[in-house]
Amino acid sequence: MSLKWIDSLDIAIELCEQHPDVDPKTIRFTDLSEWVQALDDFDDDPTHCSERVLEAIQMCWIEEAEE
């Protein structure tokens, strides 16, 4: 399965697993973008990312971390 920018929840789950000690509320969007692009299953154009996309990923990650 390849991940695209629109797969916010799936990306958040992967990030939660790979960075369990990170508080997603404190991550900078530049770091978040790099971490998403570094995921093994990520396969999308980096230019398709926007602040809104990163906010959606961050919100999903926050929700996952709180469970």
Q: Which of 8, 10, 13 is nearest to 56 (CA)?
A: 8
Structural domains of the chain, with CATH: 6-64 (1.10.10.600)
CB 56 within 8 A of CB 18: no
Residue matched to tokens 């995921």: 39
53 backbone dihedrals φ, ψ, rounded to 5° = -65, -45
Residues in the chain: 67
| pTM attached to this predicted model | 0.92
Predicted confidence (pLDDT) per residue in 15-27, tens digit:
999 999 999 999 9
Alpha carbon distance 41, 59 (integer Å): 20
- Residue 33 reports pLDDT greater than 90: yes
